[in-house]
Amino acid sequence: MKGLIAGVLIVGGLLLQAPARAADTQAADSNLAKYSVGTKHSGYVLASPATRAMEDDEFQNPGMLWVETGKKLWSTADGANGKSCHSCHGDAAKSMKGIATAYPKFNPRLGKVIDMEQRINACRAKAMQAKPYPWESRELLALTAYIKNQSHGMPMNVLVTGAAVPSFEKGKALFMAPHGPKGLSCASCHGTLEASAKLAATQDQGQTNGFPAYRLTWQTLGSAQRQIQDCERHISVAPHPLGSPADIDLEFYLAWRGNGLPVETPAVRK
């Protein structure tokens, strides 16, 4: 099967980048400045002009399919209490605006730092009396993408205070420490905020401001937790389970590294 739909090339059922129109490429290139803050540079900056154009156009961005599904789920009642997200939070465009900029964050009731996916499932368990969505399920990715999309363009503002500090320090240590038989760390590929990566200067800095993101290599939307697992495999380390305490700590640190960068969800990456 081969076809071209809204600037997306479909070949053999796979989604590929179609050649970007000149106007799209120029518009995407003109946006680059807002994706850098001091020494911080979003992965958007390193993406090809065609990929940037795809992300910027809601009709071309494949991640928007999940956002639309999330919009429907927001108002869909579920669980023993017969409630939906809308039942408690109302219009997401108002109630969720800016919320994603602070996640992951410390949750006093749960006594730990949690990410947005875990917050959604905590609401489902307590308020809706509904079963949690499995990690990487279309439903959980869709709701997460929809909620984060309400903060699109707003700067990340993850706070590291009080009871959240131990989780942050663990995540930072995990990022810096060598792992596996190759002795590689996250910093080996993604660098620090002060210095480029030792092995791959063309790699992004590992921020999570675009997740859930549509990766062309995945051919689907995926969470920051899935990306962390992919990186663990790349350095020959057995991946932690999705949502493990260690990887939530790491996601917390990575999100903080992106403070000041705009929320891009759903970002498009190679």
Active-site residue set: 231
Tokens of 139: 């439903």
Alpha-carbon distances, residue 226 vs 89, 112, 241 (angstroms): 28, 21, 10
CA distance 7 to 254: 32
DSSP state of 127: I
The number of angstroms, rounded, from the C-alpha of 64 to the middle of its chain's C-alpha atoms is: 13
Beta strands in 155-266 (DSSP E): 213-215, 220-222
- The partner residues of 2 in beta bridges, in order of sequence, read 11
Lookup result for tokens 């929809």 = 146
CA distance 49 to 19: 10
**Listed residue (145, 142, 103, 107) closest to 126, CA to CA:** 107
